[in-house]
A and B are shown apart, each in its own frame.
Chain A
Amino acid sequence: MNAIDVHGLVKRFGDKTVVDHVTMSVAEGEIVGFLGPNGSGKTTTIRIMCGLLTPDEGEGTVLGFNIRTESLRIKREVGYMTQKFSFYEDLTIGENLEFVARLYQLKPVGEYVARTLEELGLTSRRNQLAGTLSGGWKQRLALAACIMHKPKLLLLDEPTAGVDPKARREFWDEIHRLASGGLTVLVSTHYMDEAERCHRISYISYGKMLATGTVAEVVKNAGLTTFVVQGPQLAKVAEELQGRPGVDQVAPFGATLHVVGSDGKKLEAALADVEKEHKGVTVAPGETSLEDVFIQFMSGSKDNMA
């Protein structure tokens, strides 16, 4: 049984279709990255999955429970970490955890809270107001609070936004440790390095699911060709390359230019011209990155928010 199995999900707000026939399945124990630009419908899709929103169309199950009729059962078994810190800033760390433990009817409350505080290394700060915590600590507290009831599925909505690299690394180590224990994780993110830490990724843009698979599969299926351009006066070269047939993306990476196109032959021809016109400029085949693929997706899909 898949932990998540939804198909044809549609959600409209007014005349905007925020989620447009999204189909998704996540196997048990899998870590799936959910990627897409801002406003692409990631949060809405996640909210539908945990029963916070009812879809206008589409069906599906989460942990075997119907998302339309059994949202209360889903809420018990799912840990949902919201994008914005949504615990009580005017309660202490300990009080927040006690509140959550009581809502999930975890007994004895004191034991659960004490163990969670211990794992977090927050025992000495349990009487500190949650609002006074730094971003990284808030995120750790939120994660701890939503795994305290031992959920089978974790839905994490941009959990590492605004968190420093070390805390992010530790966060992901924790996610992998939980997944190896059988927990299924769906995590939305903007960061490419985080996407590469997932077993599989799904890319959504303006409500439509554009790609799904392992990172290598997504990159390969995108069918992009990439060249790396080196030499003097790259800014001028970049300007000339923009708009030539076959050139879809030109992005400076340090002392090199990343040139990406979906039509390999046209791209090669365009680059050959540039190589001839500019002395000292060399062109070499490069590796297409996940980021290149996403930029391609983003410029290719119509913005329905405008």
Chain B
Amino acid sequence: MNSIFSFARLGALLIKEFIQMRRDRITFAMMLGVPLLQLVLFGFAINNDPKGLPTALVAMSNDQYTRAMVSALQVTGYYRFDHVTESAEEAEFLMARGDVSFVVTIPADFASRVERGDNPQILIEADATDPSAASGAISTLSTVASQALLRAQGMQAAAAEDARQQLQVVVHQRYNPEGISQYNIVPGLLGVILQMTMVMMTAMALTRETERGTMENLLAMPSSPAEIMLGKVLPFLVVGAVQVAVVLVAAKLLFDIPFVGSLTLLLSSVLVFVLSLVLLGYTISTMARSQMQAMQLTFFFFLPSLLLSGFMFPYRGMPGWAQALGEIFPLTHFLRITRAVMLKGADFHAIAAEIGWLVVFVLVFAGTALLRFRRTLD
């Protein structure tokens, strides 16, 4: 008999804990599932040297040098020419919207300059809102391009001798020329902070009522599910508004983030985003049976959305399936909106699709929450 420690008592406690663990299905599933899921997901999804980045080609002529250059860039694996256009404005718009990461412009006089030996130039504009996404692609540029040109010229007996002539690759880092990663991170943080607090706080909303026994009374009194939902959700819109103000002021004062777009447009998008978040939180609280479960479900949602949304790692660096998965998080779309509006000065037209996504999230979450809400204690 040992009064300080007994393995039998410890065993009893362990058995009890395991039984409780097994009874609490959600916790159990998450304890096993979450590490596994995240390992698999992030192990494959995260890539700091993204390849196959969508690129727009602005080609004024279709000569052999242009073709050689394009194919050389393609062979590096970094560039994927999705759009070919002759219009610089169209390319500009594609980049503002975030459809392409690069615009490669090969001027009309490229071929004649090559043949004349007169310092041919190509222009590569990179979307540097996320500096790490473009860096690999840019660093390979000049060697690849020069070699390609030499090879193309090698087939031309007349020009081959003048191998000394230099190709000029002009790189413009757009929106964030100095490659300051805070420019990328801080607007993103606006979304992340909102997501963290909004979802978690509303996820507690209903479970707290259930845990404290006040739910029974609330249900016994005349109040509709929609009233209860809005009553829980709307106060957090106010909290969200305060957070937005704090983050934006801090972005300006502490990090000196340029704000080139429309504040009204950004704030309206924030409103839709926050609404989708609080409704998501509320949906979680209709599923969770305790505050603890609500917290766990929130984190279950939180981590992948943080990692797959393009906040921490370049979105374009992820394989297709991970990008598709990233689309289901409101944060992904909100990040595109904030970066586009704050750094690129995008107008409504350019971000309409992303706002559309957020509206869809609002409707889906509100619908799910109302369907799941039990008006009775059954």
Contacts and interface: CB of A to CB of B under 8 A. Distances in A.
Interface of A: 47, 50-54, 71-72, 75-76, 78, 80, 82, 84-89, 100, 103-104
Interface stretch (B39-47, B53-61, B220-228, B298-306): B220-228
A85 B213 CA distance: 8
B377 interface: yes
A159 to B, nearest CB: 14
Contacts of A71: 375-376
A50 B220 contact: yes
21 contacts: A47-B377, A50-B220, A51-B220, A51-B376, A52-B219, A52-B377, A53-B376, A53-B378, A54-B376, A71-B376, A72-B222, A80-B220, A82-B217, A82-B220, A84-B213, A86-B213, A86-B214, A86-B215, A89-B212, A100-B221, A104-B222
Contacts, number: 49
Contacts of B217: 80, 82, 86-87
Contact of B220 (A52, A54, A84, A89): A52
B17 interface: no
Given A50-B220, A104-B221, A82 B378 contact: no
Interface in B209-244: 212-217, 219-223
A71 B222 CA distance: 10
Interface string B339-378: 0000000000000000000000000000000000001111
A211 B222 CA distance: 33
Residue among B212, B220, B223, B377 facing the most chain A CB atoms (10 A cut-off): B220
B230 to A, nearest CB: 14
Interface of B: 212-217, 219-223, 375-378
Residue among A47, A52, A78, A103 facing the most chain B CB atoms (10 A cut-off): A52
A256 to B, nearest CB: 42
Given A80-B220, A86-B214, 6 more contacts: A71-B375, A75-B220, A82-B217, A84-B216, A87-B217, A104-B222
Contacts of B212: 86, 88-89
Contact of A103 (B216, B223, B377, B378): B223
B18 to A, nearest CB: 22
Contacts of B220: 50-52, 75, 78, 80, 82
B242 to A, nearest CB: 21
A287 to B, nearest CB: 40
A89 B217 CA distance: 13
A245 B222 CA distance: 56
Contacts of A50: 220
Contacts of A89: 212
Contacts of A82: 213, 216-217, 220
Contacts of A72: 222
A103 B376 contact: no
Residue among B221, B377, B378 facing the most chain A CB atoms (10 A cut-off): B221
B216 A53 contact: no
Given A51-B376, A53-B376, A54-B376, A103 B222 contact: yes
B376 A52 contact: yes
A72 B221 CA distance: 9
Contacts of A54: 376, 378
Contacts of A52: 216, 219-220, 376-377
B222 A75 contact: yes
B373 to A, nearest CB: 14
B222 A76 contact: yes
Contacts of A53: 376-378
A84 B223 CA distance: 20
A151 to B, nearest CB: 11
Contacts of A76: 222
Nearest to B217: A86
B126 to A, nearest CB: 54
A104 B220 CA distance: 11
Contacts of B219: 52
B213 A103 contact: no
A86 B214 CA distance: 4
A89 B376 CA distance: 23
Contacts of B378: 53-54
A71 B216 CA distance: 14
Contact of A86 (B216, B223, B376): B216
Contacts of A85: 213
A227 B101 CA distance: 97
Nearest to B227: A103
Residue among A50, A72, A86 facing the most chain B CB atoms (10 A cut-off): A86
A50 B220 CA distance: 7
Contacts of A88: 212, 214
A87 B216 CA distance: 10
A173 to B, nearest CB: 25
Q: Which 9 A-B pairs have the closest CB atoms?
A: A86-B217, A80-B220, A84-B213, A86-B213, A103-B221, A86-B214, A52-B377, A75-B222, A76-B222
Contacts of B215: 86
A87 B213 CA distance: 8
A70 to B, nearest CB: 12
Contacts of A104: 221-222
Nearest to A142: B217
Nearest to A100: B221
Nearest to B377: A52
A75 B214 contact: no
Contacts of B216: 47, 52, 82, 84, 86
